[in-house]
Amino acid sequence: MKKIFKTMMATPIGNLYIFNDEDYLYKISWNEFETYADIPLLKNDLGEQAKSQLLEYFAKKRFEFDLPLHLTGSEFRIKSMKAMQEIPYGETISYKEQAKLMAVKFSQAIGTANKNNKFSIVIPCHRVIKSNGEFGGYNGSEFDKKEYLLKLENSSLV
């Protein structure tokens, strides 16, 4: 079994926890205890690279991420994560629009898949909103974080 590393970084809206091995990121989460709870803080190069890119994002100096993500789940869930990665910085789409991009009919299923996103910010589920302009869910309904990220990106819908 590969060794898992955990890096913590402070952000303007709370601590983010980065979980990775030597080759891939497994999770970027606001909740330290959600997964890999027993792993002590232990830095490595990939975790530090992710932290650096996220700090650049919060400083408005990075608009895309170049990190090796270990995507898991059903084919539908992976397709959903890849679709979210295509949403440009500073823009939003609705769950219905994301369903169209993925050529599926059920936008409710999109919401469920997005809610289970393991890579906060790097896979920008915060850029997906309801058709009526409301936020919808975000990693445990943390609307303050979603609002902050959309304002950071100067979204016209906030």
Closest CA to 64 of 47, 86, 80: 86
Cα R_g (the chain), whole angstroms: 15
Catalytic residue positions, numbered: 125
**For residue 96, how many other CB atoms are within 10 A of its CB?**
16
- Residue 68: which residues within 8 A CB-CB, separation 6 or more? 23, 24, 25, 46
Cβ distance 1 to 14 under 8 Å? no
Cβ distance 107 to 117 under 8 Å? no
